[in-house]
Chain A
Amino acid sequence: MSESDVTELGRRDFLYIATGSFAAVGLSLSAWPFISQMNPDAGVQSLASVVVDLEPIEIGQSITVKWQGKPVFIRHRTPKEIEVSRSVSVLSLIDSDARNENLPGADASDENRVANPDWLVAVGICTHLGCIPVSGAGELGGWLCPCHGSIYDASGRVLKGPAPENLLVPPYVFESNSKIRIG
């Protein structure tokens, strides 16, 4: 191949590839709005946090509140439930992470799952495929998922699969002794 051929081809090739690349990058970028529009919109994202009054919830009672379209379990635990939950060894659990958004990275001991031992707050969505576990069913009186049989204890930790993770503890704070704000 002579030298003039190489330079001539090289220049043409460069222009050709550069033009093509610009078109390809431009086309890919223009796809982004069409992909991004499927994400949760501002209206969905602005769903405010919820404040829950704990006063009317008796010991042993479990209620469900809606937060960001998701159910959140709030359970007023009995002393026995607290005792049993605290006695479980973290090493024996399927998921040893606390899954607590208030304490990222902590281990799954009961102390790390709750802010106040009397109250368990957890997103009521089975970590398997998103069904809502039934309260008071299953071993240890925690939760049983009716869809595929996962069992959670009174600390919301998974005891029996197929669920891979403990119930998620959402971000929440006690505004007073009898009020919490979730979100």
Chain B
Amino acid sequence: MSILHGESYKPRNGFTRWLEKRLPIIGLIYPAFVTFPTPRNLNYAYTFGGILLVCLMIQIISGIVLSMHYTPHVDYAFESIEHIMRDVNYGWLIRYMHANGASMFFLAVYIHIFRGLYYGSYKEPRELLWIIGVMLYLMMMATAFLGYLLPWGQMSFWGATVITNFFSAIPFVGDAIVEWLRGGFSIDNATLNRFFSLHYLLPFMIVGVVVLHIWGLHVVGNSNPTGVELQKKEETVPFHPYYTLKDGFALVLFLMLFALFLFYMPNVLGHTDNYIKADSLVTPAHIVPEWYFLPFYAILRAVPDKLLGVLIMFASIGVLFILPWLDTSPVRSAAFRPLYRQFFWIFVFVCLGLGYMGAMPPEGLYLTMSRLLTVYYFFHFLFVLPVLGFFETPRPLPASIMPSVLDTEGKGDVDEGA
């Protein structure tokens, strides 16, 4: 793995020499983030890791500010959100940034995950890197769910009611667990307080796991669009300035999309019912989660049995943990797997379809379609991926990543961006 060893840091002045002798912190960061050898052929799909890091920082900074003006109490929570929107200087900006930032965070993470699926980034030796990533995704989902209760609107209240009720499906102890989670017989002040506390805690735990994710990445190195492992130092460039600038440019484009939502349609991704204060005696006509949970909601509702529905919904994420061992093909990148490439795009459309079904009422054709799509979702992981490895004839792999860098052979096969 000596290819992955970035040039070490050499202190140039008296202060850094003094510091490095006592606490070699620059020497720790420098080879990991400045000179770290990165494949020369990464395309724009690979910029989302950096974008996600920025998303996390935006959420943490805006969240800390919001908590200075928010009151986690059933009598004041809803009003304190309006107070933030109307009275606090730039409160509207910071709240919309936090709310839409969550959507942008999930948009980026979905692109990041599907990039990993397309290029087979989860395969040996990056299985653990992938698993840590799935854990991060789960922690993001938990954080988003906890945070959604805080505005104390109708969707907040009923979303939390439905999701805490998942646990009542557990045989024998289910109801006791639900009461324990809520701290009451229904969602109430105790629930709001603990959700606020945990919503504040989890992002910092995410930061910790992100450190593990990056650490793991730096041990095995980046994957790349060809899926061929690096062989020579010449196939790499130092992370800075090459990828700091490439990631930076992608970030600017991404932030333009963010700004479009933030300034021109800040409520389009939210639900209007959440501007009605929580009422424990009235259920909204349709309880729908935020868009980023819709595919899983569709899977939940597709199953007519309560316990099975909850189990299958959790299994739809759980299956990602064993993905590195389900895919039997030794070839990583879909660029050299003609059949997998088609199945990949079918899978993308199935996920989008499930998202659409999650937003629709669970009846008639919608219900039939969500059942079909749910079956296909698992069919992809449990049948297509294991079997395809045996039947597919991959296209010949290049000897190294260099043809894709020099654009001689393999043009148009590998990627659009690099």
Q: Which residues on A are within 8 Å of B, measured CB to CB?
A: 35, 38-41, 44, 47, 64, 66, 68-71, 127-132, 134, 146-149, 161-164
Contacts and interface: CB of A to CB of B under 8 A. Distances in A.
A132 B280 CA distance: 9
Contacts of A162: 301, 303-306, 309
A71 B190 CA distance: 19
13 contacts: A38-B194, A40-B183, A47-B185, A64-B281, A69-B188, A70-B186, A128-B165, A131-B287, A132-B281, A146-B283, A149-B362, A162-B301, A162-B306
A162 B158 CA distance: 18
Nearest to A165: B306
Interface residues of B, number: 36
Interface string B315-326: 000000000000
Contact of B301 (A35, A127, A148): A148
A35 B194 CA distance: 13
A147 B303 CA distance: 14
B280 A41 contact: no
A114 B361 CA distance: 33
Contacts of A64: 281
Given A38-B181, A44-B184, A131 B280 contact: no
B190 A40 contact: yes
Contacts of B235: none
B347 interface: no
Contact of A149 (B182, B280, B307, B363): B363
Nearest to A130: B165
B301 A69 contact: no
Contacts of B186: 68-70
A93 to B, nearest CB: 15
Interface of B: 158, 161-162, 164-166, 168, 179-186, 188, 190, 194, 280-287, 301, 303-307, 309, 361-363
A132 B158 CA distance: 10
A130 B301 CA distance: 14
Given A44-B184, A44-B185, A128 B306 contact: yes
B280 A164 contact: no
Given A40-B179, A163-B306, A147 B190 contact: no
B164 to A, nearest CB: 8
Contacts of B362: 148-149
Given A161-B304, A161-B305, A163-B306, A129 B166 contact: yes
Given A40-B190, A130-B162, A71 B180 contact: no
A20 to B, nearest CB: 28
B162 A40 contact: no
Given A130-B162, A161-B304, A162-B304, A38 B285 contact: no
Given A64-B281, A128-B306, A147-B286, A70 B185 contact: yes
A33 to B, nearest CB: 14
Contacts of B363: 149
A134 B182 CA distance: 24
A132 B305 contact: no
Contacts of A68: 185-186
A44 B180 contact: no
B280 A66 contact: yes
A25 B102 CA distance: 41
Contact of A41 (B161, B190, B303): B190
Contacts of A132: 281-283
Contacts of B361: 149
Contacts of A47: 185
A163 B158 CA distance: 17
A66 B280 CA distance: 9
Contact of A39 (B165, B179, B283, B306): B179
A97 to B, nearest CB: 15
B281 A71 contact: yes
Contacts of A128: 165, 306
Contacts of A127: 306
A164 B181 contact: no
A69 B303 CA distance: 29
Given A44-B185, A162-B304, A164-B307, 8 more contacts: A38-B194, A44-B184, A69-B188, A129-B165, A130-B161, A131-B158, A146-B287, A162-B306
